[in-house]
Structure 1
Amino acid sequence: MSRVLNACLFGLDNAVDGKLKRAYGTIMFTQIPKPNVFTWNTMIRAFAISTDFVFALHYYREMIRRGVLPDKYTYPFLLQACEGVLDVGIVEQVHGHVVKFGKLFEEIIERDVVSWTTLISGLVSQGFYAEGLLVFNEMMVDEYCVRPNAVTMMEVMLACANLGSLDHARGFHAFLEKMGWTEAEVSIRNSLIDAYSKCGSIGCASGIFHETQCSLKDAYSWTAVIAGLAMNGCGTEAVKWFYQMKLVAGVVPDAVTFIAVLSACAHAGLLDEGVKIFESMEVEYGIVPEIQHYGCMVDLFGRVGFLERAYSFVEIMPMEPNLATLGSLLSACRVHNNVELGEVVLEKINSFCSYGGGASVLLSNMYASGRQWREVVDVREGMKEGNSKRRKPPGRSWIEVKGVVHEFLAGDKSHPRAMELFMVLEGLRTL
């Protein structure tokens, strides 16, 4: 029956319409009592190479639901369908399934730019930035020599941005210049601005921005610079750029722009300016504030010491607060040594948030600052118990030395020079 189905879908005369073939195939498929993996792959392939990409994903989900494990021939067609659907969330789910079922990328027989980009995107979206760059380097070797597209390079620049690797950003910038993409693709220029900003090179970011034609500068371009200024301690300058964006360039800010400029106000302690900008969102631009905007305001009030006002802002939010919002308030409570409010905030974190271990650490440190040692012990013991909600995942960090990015986890000893590193750390601790 499987071979008959395959012949029905792919072997009929070319004069037969593709949709009609797939209709015949679907009817035939329903007559097979227990389809095997070859049969499921046949259906997925038929819809993946058509314009009915969603049906390919439907058959894949149904295949998994019925307990049929995919093989190495399933994913190339599924990835092709993902390209047509253009849904990053679905691509991430498929990538997770590839890992879960152990279907290594090396098993894909014909690797094209879509399969390479999907793998890079999956790694970057899950926080494996260094690994994403390694995959890109492998893609470019002579053995494969696959030409990247704009989406590939945007993912690569995103990895550079999150690693904070300025050398990598400069190297890929030179590559993009050589390919001639910086002139033709505004999305590439925006990715470069974002990467340089996050790598701390505001000069390079603003240089690319000023080189871009005014007609090509969109809200993303302005927002990337504003966000870069904010995270590099130039809050006042970021606010100036925000007003230039509106008044001089005539570019309308979007919700993400407001997150960037409100974050700048929070880091710079610009209370009056932050309140003014927040209130203008809905009044002037019709943008309803989301939880990220409320979170920036809570952070702003907390940083300048207005803890009660920050807490009242949490209370009036039209949505439940998340860990980022409550965590910033708890951090402010620690800085300003307000233990009572800190305890209230931690209760909210335990009520609303699926994870709160980092918050417990903050409260423990707050107790320690006030020499409340019994409370410190109680919090620490609670973290050691089986409540995963209060466990803090290990910290993860990267450092770039001589163009090489090194990755570390807290307590990790897998690095080839781990012994030397721990000896140096021990020496620093005893100073």
Structure 2
Amino acid sequence: MYELSDRAKDYIQRTEQFIKDEIEPVEADFWHDVHRLNVDGDWTKWQWPAMLETLKAKAKAAGLWNMFLPDATLGAGLSVQEYAHIAERTGRSLIAPTVFNCNAPDTGNMEVLWRYGSEAQQEQWLKPLLAGEIRSVFCMTEPDVASSDATNMQATAVIEGDEIVLNGRKWWSSGLGDPNAKVIIFMAHTPDESKDRHHQHSMVLVPVNTQGVKIERMLPVFGDYDAPHGHGEVSFDNVRVPVANFIGGAGQGFEIAQGRLGPGRIHHCMRCIGAAEKSLELMIDRGMSRKAFGKELLKLGGNLERVAEARVAIDQARLLTLYAAYKMDKMGNMAALTEISAIKVVAPTVLQNVVDMAIQIHGGAGVSKDTPLTAFYAQARALRLADGPDEVHKGMIAKLELMKRGYASRR
């Protein structure tokens, strides 16, 4: 079931080698520069180290570029399942996804434009995104409503003549602080009484510098601003863009969102698995290189059992995620609804638990920035909320199980 093509195996091998040869030797210095250049929440001064463009140029020259896109001309042309293995490898590094132009939210935004964008939208925004010349932002979550129910959305995209008028406030908008962010995908309510509630929302392309768009602040995660990528709060005050800026047309927002989130969840989950593998390796190396009470740390208490538990959990999460990817490739997203929700619950939780074990073995070093563990932990904990909290996905799984037994939903 999970047999890979020779082409996919080649991409995986070359990705591993590039990370080993080009990224791992400089990653510590890279993040030192990031923290030096971006010292606080003043996003107007944020910048990437020059090293990033050097690494991106090397990755592009090596043909390790846009590997997420299942288009052999614009990307690697790999299936979802095949790319999943690459996502796992890149998840071991905090910078690798960006180096390969396979980073969120750009991957999802590029896939939206590739699948649903007009020729003009693809020319203006997709091409420079694929080239790595600009970055993009995704605006969906709102501060004043329970965003776990997307139909609660208060932001509006109202058609007035040949323009769309946008109003609302968004937060946790991924990529908002990036100095290269040039375009926002803004999801909002487009009122239309003739349509059901799942066809009254739209995605709209908004250049970042459009009048009425105001970045209010960047939001720290566990005290870290994730600069210079950043997650922020942004307001839209009577922002006007052409009607041509609808992606796929008015009222298509939820349909597009489901198409966007399916592959994206595979990517997130496999990156979590890669990060968990890295955390387990760090845990073992640390635990076997330090002694206390006459024994290696890993041989004290129940630490060896924790290693075994971590191995079992990681492998289970990987197999479940690959199965979800397999079903998506063979039968489409709708056939894999249970698995897509299941992995979104399982993979971040596995990463969170494995990182927690690794932090404990590292002692004080585990909660510092001397290792990637704190960043991995923040990634895991945040992902249990992003793209739908655990409870929403568990609710979906339960609903589908009841339907299998003939208990159709009344909602």
Specify if TM > 0.5: no
Structure with bigger helix share is 1
TM-score for both structures, normalised by structure 2: 0.23
Instruction: Report the structure number with the largest CA radius of gyration.
Output: 1
